[in-house]
Amino acid sequence: MRITSGGPAPEDDPGPDLSDPEFFGTGDPHPVWTRLRAHDPVHRQCPVGGKPEFWAVTRYAEVSRVLARHGEFTAARGNILTTLGQSDIAGGKMLAVTDPPLQKRLKEPLVPHLARQAVREFEPALRELSRRLLSAGARQDTWDFAAQAAFYPIAIGGLLLGIPEDSWNRLKHFTYAAVAESDPDYAGQGASRSAVLNRAHSEIFLHFHSEVTRPGRADADDLIGVLLRAAPDGEPLSREEVILNAYSLLIGATVTTSHAASGGLLALLENPGEYARWLETGDTTALVEEILRWTSPANHALRHTTSQVRLDDTDVGAGEPVTAWLGSANRDERVFPDPFRFSVDRYPNRHIAFGVGAHRCIGAHMARLALTVLFEEIARNFEQFELAGEPRHLHSTFIAGIKNLPVRTVLRPEGAGLRDLRPLGETTEEAL
Ligand code: HEM
């Protein structure tokens, strides 16, 4: 694939289209990112098919700088590519698209509840959810791990935001549609991308609107209760701020964690020597860090420059969009020796899968715990896991995801108890 550097590309060879969900759904971005890191680390993505142009940084150093320096690179005009060219109505009200110092008001009330120590209270519930996820493998030898794993984060969102199980299927569908509106499984027949996005956003907002207006909801011992009771600097959050930030937490939790799980399992199956080494050492903490680096489920983050800046040796004008590709930064050969080797005990492992700076993921401790517990349960309950078909990937520029991961499994005697559990994906909810 030809790499275009600066200036308009010739009509007949526009180079890679980093804004094309199809490219990430069916293609392999790694060879493209590797060439960009080597030859064009501050790449100008030329307009393709009438879409707006933007800059793309792919090295660890520039990705970290774009995300860390909020004074130079603002998130307030949107933090994902699908919002490019439109003004983000949530800017200044939702923490993901609000810069410091205003962001502090939205983030501070939540931080203590998602701290490392605080999330430990969820460990028994996460273990039970993991076992339900894996129970599909106790009933059939061949099953779809990714399809089951897709319910794990909405269940985690359920723990944090008080979402009842009979809403999981519906909210899971709309959170995915909100980040993968072009994916054939979410696009809907003949609906435009904006119609799919609008429906997804309204369904999620409606859910949280009815939640926050429910009498007594502020007393609940969950993050919606925390947001409703919060009064930073003596001023309560508005109802709109509560709904937008509940939305942000749901999207953050739902669309990422399951892909780390499926991508991590796939990496183990493709590297049986590493799988065996992990079982031998039992070091699931190091495994999870390598899974996060390897899968980098949040593929990119978008920012806009606040003034002219020099990135590497390229001048980027004021007000221009810059995308920071986390999946590429986490394979940067300048930082990670042998970056394309999946190594269950990689050390040091300074990956930036959770981002950098003021917008660094608030759910990182919860995600790490959820993944650790899940992989511990995999090791405890299964003798063997092997690939039983081709994985199918999500069509999304934002989420590096796996939709289907057919596996064949052999249960250990310790796994017999899984047979009595109801699989996560088994729902009594009405079809959408
Ligand atoms: C493997 C799982 C996860 C990954 C890879 C991940 C990744 C990220 C990344 C890269 C960012 C920064 C985005 C930016 O700079 O624009 C972020 C922010 C965020 N994440 Fe996560 N996340 C994960 C799990 C979670 C969970 C479980 C939650 C909910 C508890 C969550 C909630 C959020 C929120 C609310 C933000 C915005 C924070 C801010 O702007 O201050 N994430 N996440």
User: Which pTM does this prediction carry?
Assistant: 0.94
Question: Could you count the other beta carbons within 10 Å of the beta carbon of residue 190?
Answer: 6
pLDDT the model gives residue 140: 92
> Facing residues of 298 across strands?
399
Distance CA 211, CA 382 (A): 39
How many Å apart are CA 398 and CA 19, to the nearest integer? Answer: 9
In a domain? residue 391: yes
Quick check: is 432 in a domain? no
What is the 8-class DSSP label of residue 192?
A: -
Neighbours of 74 (CB within 10 A): 19
Closest listed residue to residue 77, CA positions, set 318, 396, 397: 318
CA distance 275 to 379: 10
Domain CATH for 88: 1.10.630.10
pLDDT for position 195: 86
Question: Cβ(138) to ligand 1 under 6 A?
Answer: no
Whether 7 is covered by a domain: the verdict is no
Distance CA 358, CA 138 (A): 43
Ligand 1: nearest atom to the Cα of 360: 12
Q: Does the CB atom of residue 76 touch ligand 1 within 6 A? A: no
Indicate whether residue 157 lines ligand 1 (CB < 6 A): no
Q: Is residue 426 in some structural domain?
A: no
Q: Is 160 in the pocket of ligand 1 (CB under 6 A)?
A: yes
Q: Which atom of ligand 1 is nearest to the CA of 75?
A: 16
10 lies in some domain: no
CA gap 218, 50 in Å, rounded: 46
Q: Is 428 a domain residue?
A: no
Q: Is 356 in the pocket of ligand 1 (CB under 6 A)?
A: no
Burial of residue 27 (CB within 10 Å: 0-12, 13-18, 19+) is middle
Count the domains in the chain. Answer: 1
- Hey, how many other C-beta atoms are within 10 angstroms of the C-beta on 92? 14
Residue 261 lies in a domain: yes
| Domain housing 154 | 21-420
Instruction: Going residue by residue through the chain, which has 432 residues, state the pLDDT in tens, using 9 for 90 and above.
Output: 121 222 333 344 446 789 888 888 887 899 999 999 999 999 999 877 777 899 999 999 999 999 999 999 999 999 999 888 887 778 889 999 999 999 999 999 999 999 999 999 999 999 999 999 999 999 999 999 999 999 999 999 999 999 999 999 999 989 988 877 777 887 766 778 788 888 998 999 999 999 999 999 999 999 999 999 999 989 999 999 999 999 999 998 888 999 999 999 999 999 999 999 999 999 999 999 999 999 999 999 999 999 999 999 999 999 999 999 999 999 999 999 999 999 999 999 999 999 999 999 999 999 999 999 999 999 999 999 999 999 999 888 888 889 999 999 999 999 999 999 999 877 655 555
Tell me if 318 is assigned to some domain: yes
DSSP string, 112-143: GGGSHHHHGGGHHHHHHHHHHHHTHHHH-SEE
Residue located nearest, by CA, to atom 17 of ligand 1: 361
Look at residue 429 in the predicted model and tell me its pLDDT. 55
